[in-house]
Amino acid sequence: MIYLYLIATVLIFLAAKKLLSPFKTPLANPLLVSILFFIGLFSFTSLNYQDYAIANQAFIWLLEPAVVALAIPLFYQVAQIKAQAFAIIISCGTGVIIAMSSCLSVALLLTDDKTLLLSLLPKSVTSPIAMAIANETGGLASLAAAVVIAVGLLGALGGFSLLKFCKITNPQAQGLAMGCSAHAIGTAKAMEVGSEQGAFSSLALVISGILTAVLAPLFVLLIDIFIPVL
């Protein structure tokens, strides 16, 4: 009967979506509220999280074809993408470098745990890429995945409010910023806001994912300089 958890995921999410729709605050996010509901449920009751995980594998599995389907909004925006190719590459490239260098420099102030630093490095890219990078560099794939999910939620929650506050109102700019900083979870949010935001977020997700995989080894060298191997 554990498959009731699958139905529970749908019902809680749809209920959260319905009940939260009148509230304008970014915290009234159906994804966040549903996640917190289930985390609370398994933390404070004797219900078993493993059963939930098994039952909900179907949704985890559906994420893969859903990522392939992101080609659809991209295709609809292909004219704009071609027209802005230069600006897209420059802003995503800069974004990837800023993502890794800002994360590292702040983390270096707080820790000298090399495994932790290496696991934080790919925090802005989609979790399969982040886990592969962490494996490659000597980070911890599971820690990298956890950080990636947390970062994605953070971007999805606060991203659009922050962008509006900073007068970044161009839908393409908003999409690229979400995809570069909050990968697939940010892209899911961007799809809800608008198809142009969604398409540019998917684009940034792909470009920044690939660039991060290519550039991460350089940042690993930097970590080696700051924290010599013992």
Partner 1 sequence: MNNSIFINIFQILRSILILLAFLYFGKWLQQISHLPIPGSIFGLILLFLTLNLRLIPIHYLLPTGSFLLNYITLFFVPVGVGLLQYSELLSIHWLTIVVSSVVSTIVVLISVGFIYQKLSK
Query: Is there binding between residue 120 and partner 1 (CB under 8 A)?
Result: yes
- The pattern of x and - marking residues 172 through 211 that bind partner 1 according to CB under 8 A reads xxx-xxx-xxx-xx-xxx-xx-----x---x-x-x--xx-
Cα 42–chain centre separation: 24
Question: Nearest to residue 92, comparing CAs of 1, 207, 221?
Answer: 207
Using CB under 8 A as the binding rule, whether residue 124 contacts partner 1 is answered as: yes
How far apart are CB 228 and partner 1 at their closest, in Å? 20
Distance CA 137, CA 121 (A): 10
217 vs 224, beta carbon nearer partner 1: 217
Q: How far is the CB of 122 from partner 1 (least distance, A)?
A: 9
Cβ proximity to partner 1: between 25 and 43 the closer is: 43
Closest CA to 136 of 118, 151, 123: 118
Minimum CB distance to partner 1, residue 27 (Å): 15
The torsion angles phi and psi of 27, rounded to 5 degrees, stand at -70, -20
User: Which position among 118, 139, 159, 196 is part of the footprint of partner 1 (CB under 8 A)?
Assistant: 159
Quick one: tokens of 225?
């300089």
Measured CA to CA, the distance from residue 134 to residue 66 in angstroms comes to: 24
Q: Least separation, in Å, of the C-beta of 19 and partner 1?
A: 15
Return the residue of 15, 20, 28, 162 that touches partner 1, per CB under 8 A: 162
Q: Which of 126, 139, 196, 223 binds partner 1 (CB under 8 A)?
A: 126
Q: How far apart are CA 168 and CA 173, in angstroms?
A: 7
Q: Judge whether 88 and 147 are in contact, CB under 8 Å.
A: no
- Closest approach of Cβ 148 to partner 1, in Å? 10
Measured CA to CA, the distance from residue 8 to residue 221 in angstroms comes to 46
Question: 227: left (phi > 0), else alpha (psi -120 to 50), else beta?
Answer: beta
* Residue of 13, 20, 193, 194 interacting with partner 1 (CB under 8 A): 13
**Cα(129)–Cα(64) distance, rounded to whole angstroms?**
13
By rule CB under 8 A, what string of x and - marks binding of each residue 127-146 to partner 1?
xxx--xx-xx---x-xx-xx
Pick out residues in 31-90 that bind partner 1 (CB under 8 A).
31-32, 34-35, 38-39, 42-43, 49, 52-53, 56-57, 59-60, 62-76, 78, 84, 86-88, 90
